[in-house]
Amino acid sequence: MKTPVPSAGERATQARYQLMQLAAEMEDVVRLGAGDPDLHTPGEIVKEAVRLMGRGKGQITEQGLDKLREAISEQLADERELDYAAETNVLITNGAQEALFLSMLALVDPGDRVLVQDPRYSSYDQAVEAAGGKIVAIPPRGRHDFCLDPDELVARAGSARVLVFVNPNNPTAALHPPDLVRSIARIADQHDLVVLSDEVYDKLTFDSAEVLSIAQCERMRERTVVLSSFSKTYAMTGFRVGYLAGPAHFIQAVTRLKQAISGPCPLFSQYAALAALTESGQGRGRILETFAGRRRIMLQGLDSLGIPYGAPGGGFFIWADISKFGRPAHDFCLELLREARVLMFPGTAFGEHWKDFVRISILEPEERLEEGIKRLGRFTAGSSEVTSE
């Protein structure tokens, strides 16, 4: 039997998993790689989900629990002034990843061009590939400014069908200011693009930064699909609950696809998500406070080592420039892991051009982050710095 050769997106994803596998076989590794919060799901969410499971009705639908969709609809209205009706505009998915994949299948025909910010989470490549589409990468604004560049977007928008807009961004953590979001919205409208707005990290922003969903911009609600999840905000990665909010016609199409491919989401996970929205305001606050403290430590550490990075506005990653050490990112990360027992992901796992960058996560306790910085310092002290002329 013939089996296909892995695609570029699949290879990029596997590059991350191979490093994680190597790290799993080692002891005392400071893990600054993966995007799974080390914090457990707040206990009040678990207890409420168990309580609801013992009392709730024993049935599920592909679209998701009514009460959960209602709670999401209310949150979008309260926090983003977005008007999405629970019964027609919201679909519950197995995490944001399934939401992304189903959206691509619902929007993209073979040969369609999909605009994606570069660098990018490689699962976008696999989802677009599965739909038969073609990724068109859009470079960021500057060497250390990773916001989407409107001029570069205009240059590539012709004949494209979909724009994937990730704000705050993974892997760069760039948070797009409201004026820039409005500019991007105008371009999307002018070029008749459907926007898939990945807002997984929009509740994990720092320094009182203002977040504007592109769906809030003029004329955008009807051409935007909002994608989000409970995984990062509530430390609920294992529950696999996400959602899509968008125009009814689109939600109906995706629901049919979900019916064919995966079916309804687990009832227990949906109860946990409902508990997160209704019971865990304090839990969310605690998680954000924890990440804010860790972010400060990591940024101070990188500053002390003279390692530049893009301004991290949201999420729990830092996109750092390691070019001065003169080694391609993959080699740098492999040696850092083997010699210093610190796990980071190479930029090339997020796009082939990013050999000068690494993605650092802050998903370890503060003392482990400090230890990681010390080890990184010792490791890079042994590297000869490359000076530019």
- Minimum distance, C-beta of residue 244 to another protein, in the bound complex (Å): 13
**Are 290 and 87 spatial neighbours (Cβ–Cβ below 8 Å)?**
no
* 383 touching another protein, by CB under 8 A: no
Helix (H) or strand (E) holding 18: helix 8-24
Q: Among 54, 111, 158, 306, which residue interacts with another protein (rule: CB under 8 A)?
A: 54
Out of 73, 126, 170, 172, the residue judged to bind another protein by CB under 8 A: 126
Tell whether residue 9 is a contact of another protein (CB under 8 A).
yes
Residues 6+ apart with CB under 8 A from 384: 326
116 binds another protein (CB under 8 A): no
Site for another protein in 81-110 (CB under 8 A): 94-95, 97-98, 101, 105-109
Q: How far is the CB of 132 from another protein (least distance, A)?
A: 9
Q: Which is nearer to another protein, 222 or 303 (CB)?
A: 222
| CB-nearer residue toward another protein: 26 or 261 | 261
C-beta of 186: minimal distance to another protein in Å?
16
Give CA angle at 333 (330, 337), nearest 5°: 140
Span 332-371, contacts to another protein by CB under 8 A: none
Shortest distance, position 131 Cβ to another protein, whole Å: 7
The answer to whether residue 205 forms part of the interface with another protein (CB under 8 A) is no
Would strands 194-198 and 224-229 be described as parallel, antiparallel, or unpaired?
Answer: parallel
What residues are paired with 244 via a beta bridge?
Answer: 91, 227
247 near another protein, judged by CB under 8 A = yes
Q: Which two tokens stand for residue 63?
A: 């679209």
The pairing of beta strand 30-31 with beta strand 342-343 = parallel
Closest to another protein by CB, 26 vs 260, is 260
Residue 103 pairs in a beta bridge with none
Tokens of 315: 């999420």
Q: Which residues contact 339 (CB under 8 A, 6 or more apart)?
A: 379
